Amino acid sequence: MKTIWKILLGIGAVVGAIFAMSSSGSKKQFKKDVKDNKKKVKAVKENTKKLKKEKEFVKKKIKTSDSKIADTKSKVKSTKSAKKTTSTFKKKYRSKK
């Protein structure tokens, strides 16, 4: 009976050792993956900083172009009265045959 327990204990120790060895390798891989992820996060943060600066620049450009458009529109004359005049002219003189 004692020899059976010793054999089972030995088998358990071998299985435990194999498990411990395999887990230590995955721990190294995990650390490597963490380092890679940190590098990727850093690169993404740098890109977001650049994009935020570009976004602010574009917003300023849009603001200036909007003010230019508003200024141009204020200088354009309305054609409403001219259209009315031409329609009355057509009614008076062109429709008669």
Residue-wise pLDDT tens digits, 20-43: 776 666 777 888 889 999 999 999
Q: Is the pTM of this model over 0.85?
A: no
- What is the pLDDT averaged over residues 62-73? 89
Torsion of CA 84, 86, 92, 97, to 10 degrees: -140
* DSSP helix, strand, coil percent of the chain (3-state; round to 5): 90, 0, 10
61 assigned to some structural domain: yes
> What's residue 16's pLDDT?
82
Distance CA 32, CA 77 (A): 69
Residue-wise pLDDT tens digits, 2-16: 788 888 888 888 888
User: What's the token pair of residue 89?
Assistant: 């002219």
Average pLDDT, the chain: 84
24 assigned to some structural domain: yes
Q: Domain tally for the chain? A: 1
- The whole domain housing 50 covers 2-68
For the chain, where are the E strands, in sequence order? none
- What is the pLDDT averaged over residues 49-59? 94
